[in-house]
Amino acid sequence: MPPLLRIDNVRKAFGGLVAVNDVSFEVAEGELLGLIGSNGSGKTTMLNLISGALSPTSGKIALNDRPIAGLAAHRIARIGVARTFQLVRVLPSMTAVENVLAGAVFGHKRLWGEPAEALARELLAKVGLRGREAVPVSAMTYIDQKRIELARALAGDPQVLLLDEWLAGLNPTELTIGIDLIREISAQGRTVIMVEHVMDAIRALCGRCVVMSSGTKIADGPSADVLADPEVIRAYLGDDDA
């Protein structure tokens, strides 16, 4: 079966800084892939290239064999990529349910009216916000805003879901719930790429991970192997600590 998402020799330079350096990898339908690497290694830039927030300097990105690199973000969202952001981006003056509805309206599967509202409520319940539908997002905690972002991303029924450190900042109890939630989303067949620094979550969730270091892919394989790879350990901890 051809991969759902194909990243082919993708490069992104910001002036003289090569944030993503000719990176290639593929993601199969239904896979839950971890994208890891130390701070500044290019992970968020990679997600920005897939979601269309940035255009690659060179290289190809294809979703279901359809080239998407360089298309506008709203078109890529419509084709089927949804994401959450490292620093949450919600519409603060709107309610929880209105935020999630925005995902349904602008996502891969357009939904309006009653079906969209029903889906939004169902997704809010799924992320732990049952009964909070009418609360303005500005009155919610940061963690609850993260939950809303996830519900909004799911509302478009994306072919690929990109999570940018969605588990960051959760306390241990919330982390367990968050890991279970991602596991459930994946078990339902959703294809997910998660950028994450919480290694316990990567171990628990991701069969495979891709590791970036200074813009370059340095490892790609089963998470247990990759996380035991001395080069990966060195890239994370620095030579002095490895």
Ligand X SMILES: Nc1ncnc2c1ncn2[C@@H]1O[C@H](COP(=O)(O)OP(=O)(O)OP(=O)(O)O)[C@@H](O)[C@H]1O
Binding site for ligand X (CB under 6 A): 14, 17, 19, 37, 39-45, 86
Task: Choose between 12 and 132: whose C-beta lies nearer to ligand X.
Answer: 12
Task: Choose between 87 and 134: whose C-beta lies nearer to ligand X.
Answer: 87
Task: Choose between 57 and 86: whose C-beta lies nearer to ligand X.
Answer: 86
In the complex, the smallest distance separating the C-beta of residue 105 from ligand X, rounded to whole angstroms, is 28
Task: Choose between 45 and 95: whose C-beta lies nearer to ligand X.
Answer: 45
CA-based nearest residue to 148, from 165, 130, 172: 130
In the complex, the smallest distance separating the C-beta of residue 187 from ligand X, rounded to whole angstroms, is 27
In the complex, the smallest distance separating the C-beta of residue 117 from ligand X, rounded to whole angstroms, is 35
Task: Choose between 11 and 126: whose C-beta lies nearer to ligand X.
Answer: 11
Task: Please list, in sequence order, all residues whose beta carbon lies within 8 angstroms of the beta carbon of residue 117, skipping any fewer than 6 positions away.
Answer: 97, 101
Class of residue 129 by CB neighbours under 10 A (exposed 0-12, middle 13-18, buried 19+): buried
In the complex, the smallest distance separating the C-beta of residue 176 from ligand X, rounded to whole angstroms, is 23
In the complex, the smallest distance separating the C-beta of residue 83 from ligand X, rounded to whole angstroms, is 13
CA-based nearest residue to 54, from 19, 23, 86: 19
In the complex, the smallest distance separating the C-beta of residue 138 from ligand X, rounded to whole angstroms, is 25
In order of 81, 97, 152, the CA distances from 141 in angstroms are 26, 16, 16
Place of tokens 């690659």: 56
Q: Write phi, then psi, for 133 (nearest 5 degrees).
A: -55, -40
Task: Choose between 14 and 142: whose C-beta lies nearer to ligand X.
Answer: 14
CA geometry: angle at 194 spanning 192 and 198, to 5°? Answer: 140
d(CA 61, CA 24) in angstroms, rounded, equals: 9
Pairing of strands 208-213, 216-222: antiparallel
